[in-house]
A and B are shown apart, each in its own frame.
Chain A
Amino acid sequence: RKEVEQDPGPFNVPEGATVAFNCTYSNSASQSFFWYRQDCRKEPKLLMSVYSSGNEDGRFTAQLNRASQYISLLIRDSKLSDSATYLCVVKPGTGGYQKVTFGTGTKLQVIP
């Protein structure tokens, strides 16, 4: 089993739609979780951290379910500019000097 698993997609959704991605992780001791966005041939950029209580940033909502070992990302009112690959990232602890493990990414294509 991979350490971090994501559905690769692609998810093709119309503008304005709501779309959700899930990501499962195998290490129950993992402490830090993030969603990154990667545009084609670019470096990943932090979209949002995922907190235990769940958190929201505008149209984006992230949830963590430790019991089932998954995190989710919900995007409401999809925009064309949301088209990208979304990477789930897991760290074993909270410190900065630790390896992170990336999921394979889920590709989102928002269609006009």
Chain B
Amino acid sequence: GAVVSQHPSWVICKSGTSVKIECRSLDFQATTMFWYRQFPKQSLMLMATSNEGSKATYEQGVEKDKFLINHASLTLSTLTVTSAHPEDSSFYICSAPPVRARPTNYNTEAFFGQGTRLTVV
């Protein structure tokens, strides 16, 4: 099945630095990528939706200048956490809708990257 590869799986960085997280679709073209954040004991919260070749759409309350999203190709979307602070420490995960195998395909699942655990110290 379709695979989304996310890198790095974990990162520790100093406060004030920037961290880039990559998500690649390995055997399909991902025109859309969803980026989520999950704090401990909380649900996955959608941060933004990236679309290849256009600007990302951010959810309410998510700072677009802090969380830079780039979707320059059909197989790569990146999330950069700029000037990271300890409160940005979280589990970040991307998800791409699958390529429809058949026109009648429905109730399609989402394919997730492996997640990135960010710790800002």
Contacts and interface: CB of A to CB of B under 8 A. Distances in A.
Interface of A: 4, 8, 32, 34, 41-46, 49, 51, 87, 94-105
B97 A97 contact: yes
B112 interface: yes
A34 B108 CA distance: 9
A87 B91 CA distance: 16
How extensive is the interface on chain B, given as a class?
Answer: 20 to 34
Nearest to A47: B109
Contact of A51 (B44, B107, B114): B107
A45 B49 CA distance: 20
A43 B114 contact: yes
A103 B107 contact: no
A94 B117 CA distance: 31
A44 B108 CA distance: 15
A46 B108 CA distance: 10
Nearest to B97: A96
Given A87-B44, A98-B97, 4 more contacts: A32-B107, A43-B112, A44-B44, A100-B46
Contacts of A102: 36, 43-45
Contacts of B36: 102
11 contacts: A4-B43, A43-B93, A44-B44, A45-B112, A94-B106, A96-B100, A96-B105, A96-B110, A99-B49, A102-B43, A102-B44
Contacts of B115: 41-43
A56 B3 CA distance: 26
Contacts of B108: 94-96
